[in-house]
Structure 1
Amino acid sequence: MTLSDAPMIRQAPISVALILVLVVAAIDGGFVESTNAAYWATWATLGIAVAVSILASAVHSTALGIAVPFISMVAIAFGRAAIGPTVTLLLLLCVLWIALLPGRRWVVISGLSTLAAVALSYVWPTTVIDPTHVVMELVITPLMFSTIAAVINRVIEDNKARMESNELLVRQREEALADAVDLVSRLRENEAQLESAGYLFRSVLDSVTRQSVIGTDLSGLIDVWNTGAQTMLGLNAADVVGNRYIHEFHRDEELHERARELGYPAGATVLNPGFSALVEVARLGGSEDRDWTYLRANGDEVFAHVAVTPRIDENGRTVGYIFVGADVTDKKELAKLQDEFVGLVSHELRTPVSSILGYLELMRDATEPPLSDEQLQYLGVAERNAHRLLRLVGDLLFTAQVAAHKFPIEAAEVDLNGVVQASVESARPASQTANVLLLLRPADSHPVVWGDATRIAQACDNLLSNAIKFTPRGGTVSVNVSIEGEFARIAIRDTGMGIPPDEIAMLSTRFFRASTATRSAVQGVGLGLSITKAIVTAHGGELSAESEVGVGTTFTFTLPLRGRAA
């Protein structure tokens, strides 16, 4: 109920009090003996009291209800004129009503209204003016009633402020409760989605049966173990998750070797050095593919190609690592057999081919009986093919040495300009025969590298031979030597048939040949680039290729300058 609601409820005590006072006065006979003015004042009081009561009951909560207490003050003023100062206390009820209205101005209005009501009673002819009471009634009474009104008004405002604050707090709590309910609902939905995603994730992991997927925390403790890992390593997830560490499935010798590669000094204090050797690259934010030997539960060894990547949370922080491994035991065995076969065949072929070349040379040098031109031509063809076969045997032997990490490097200071120029001059007859323009641009200075001049020349010869072989007649092969920082750079560019982008990564694989080469029936066995890459890598350099089909190819390899060699 607001301050102006139900005016009749507030007016009723005032009207009842006025009527009771008048009834008591009538019983005492006070107004009967009074003058006619007192008589009419009494009836005026009654009439106004009844009228204002009717008004109060009619206006209900409208703004007209504010006028009710002021009209009641007029009735009380007539009551003072009819009966005397006793009725003055009834003004307090009107003042309290007015004080309930919002705003400090109603305190002043209530005081002024009290003063006006008292003054109005003095105007009536029957009122006896007592000078000693005039000051009190015209000054003290309004001030006292105003003070009471101010206190009531302040209390009401404070209560209203507290109520508004409480209502605001209640609304905030209701909103917070609604938000909490909504949050709980969303959390339940998210939980359901997470459960669904987790189920899907587990299903995907379990469906990967040919690769092992192993997840760990930052310490290496395993928390993910899929069906492929179970098949590969012979242990169930229940036996591993939360109980075993990833490095326990690796050979200590391999972990120590990897630690030395990473530069961990012997005896260094490294927390869990075995695990650190596995994840060092991933710990720095990268990923690493590497061959490792896994140890099965029964002690058997499994050769696996393992990719290690960091696990990142929603805030971008590394919270663990993922190891995805593929069993390459069969491939390892096949590669080993292949290397043994290549080495064996190469050794077995080298001796008879050398013998054939020796006898061909004896036949060419024989004077009795002299050979005809046609016979000499046949001998030349045989010699060329025998030399080609001998070079192929040499390449096969070299690749076997590379696979066994045993090919020799006789290091010394090498003038790179001189080596490249010699390779270009050696390739010039072949380029002239193929009608391919061969250009050389040496470095302005003289780059000196530390390495094996014969092997570096072999790498240049292989790249030049390929460039000329795969460039159509009228094309160009350009060789540029330059210095970039602490490295020498050799770039060999041709205008040939090019290589498809998806095949570039396979170029250094033994016996691999690009599809453009096989379609064009260009001779070769696919060993030159693998040999070149092995030579460049052994010298601490890098080999790269850029190509566009129908436009040409650029092979580039870098070598560290003197003092930078590994």
Structure 2
Amino acid sequence: MILLPLFLETVSHRALATTGERAVQLVITVVTTIVVFVPTGAPQLIFAVMPMFTWHAFRGSLRESTIVLTVVGVIGTVFTASGLGPVHAAVDMLDIAPELALGVLQLFLLDCGLILLPLSVMVTQQRRAVDRADQERDTLESLVDAATGTAVIATDANGKVTLFNPGAEKILGRSAQDVVGRAPDDLFGQEELHRHGAAVHAPATFAEIAGAMVGLGVRSRLWQVRRPSGDERTIRMTLTAIPNASGVFCGYLATAEDVTERESAHRALLATLEHERNAVEQLRELERTKGDFVATVSHELRTPITSIMGYTEVLEDGAYGELTQDQLEVLGRVDRNSRRLLLLVEDLLTLSNIEASTMKLDIAETDLRAVVGDAGDSLAALLVGRELLVRYHVPSEPVHHRADARQLERMLLNLLTNAVKFTPDGGVIDVFLHDDSELRQIVVRDSGLGIPLVEQAHLFTRFFRSTTATENAIQGTGLGLTIVKGIVTLHGGQIEMSSEPKVGTTVTVTLPRFTDALPPAPSSRDGQVGSIRPVKLGAPPRTPDAHLHTISSAPRSEVVTR
């Protein structure tokens, strides 16, 4: 009990007593022990040593207390073995064997150890706990003081400020000595307190508002504060209830940051977004107005143009007398320009319907080979007088597809018309129709002038005309490809284009074999939805062995079946 603690690692702590006080404690304890163990007629004096141990336990350290106990044990053992002291006197008084005198001493020292050591350990643990608490408090205070960008305000249960860190002084423009011990109501003003009180249905005091916010789970709100200098700031304050060690409410902790610039930027952003939203709505309204205007004008133009074409045909037939050759040539020009104007009107109407989502498709079971053939027949008029080889590569078996045959023919005719316009005499135009288990493809490839790479992204924009068209004086309105894309999209397909100047252009239209966008076909086949596989543009489609059938020789047009 006495010697073993000297060789053990003990918990150390800062002694409350100074070095001088501890030296005096040791001297007094040694002197008291000697005085107690010298006389032999007063055994009760032995208890005078015990208050010394209590003194060492509370004021000294655990190690020093162990050393003092050892010193007392050595002194008591030496004096008792020499026949002195109250322990030796107790042997005579109790009439016990002299050999048991040291046993009585050991019992006394054991009692001293049971008093001194546990008490010293308990005091040491308490002091270490206090030291840790002080260290944590100092660390917390350092953190709070270092948080100059965050206001930290603590109140007691009565709503009085107990903590006001440097960050709060900086943000609110008040000193801690002016705020601590007072209610924080003056920091915000009555108008702001009434605003927040009305929001949480509480009286217009900070303590009541804080209690209501915590009770409702509203932890964070924006507060407007006015500094003594008159500067108004916006802060975002977060409130938390503070419980004590027993879990009883003892105050509030408020943390706040200055968000004046951030909120100002946020309001400016909202204003900008609102302005942009209004601008978009105005543009949409203008777009609708323009679409309605185009549709109205187109409808109004169709009737007089049709009338002009009808009267031109009547004049050409000689209903009002025979015409000279010059007059017939003039009427021919009128007829051609009228047809061009009618075609433009039809394109405008079609584009207007597509953009307004009012265009209806007449979906039916269609043989895509017939679509290719009809488009080729319509193209024949443009090939008159041209030296072009147009080849149609189609399967030998029907290629059935649910689609609007008239619109697909119009789509393909637009692509073929562009190919004819942009391909000089002596060139070749190929049309491929592919059919597999997942998709159908219509590919139009020409060996024409091509389109610059930088312009290809704008080809499907309405009224866009490439520099190739303007430099070569190629007629057009810039609506054809826009209409083509609209028709392909309505059929659930995709259109892609690759082109290279002076090499040619390849346009690939991909139609899914099955699509939920179209009405279901009355067929016994499973209606599973196929996936569209990517197409590598620019690579010529593979053409298997085919038998060529010549349709006409001037201009040349060929059909390749496989």
TM-score, normalised by the number of residues in structure 2: 0.43
Structure with bigger gyration radius: 1
TM-score, normalised by the number of residues in structure 1: 0.43
Structure in which a larger fraction of residues adopt helix: 1
Structure number with the bigger relative contact order (C-alpha 8 A, sep ≥ 6) is 2
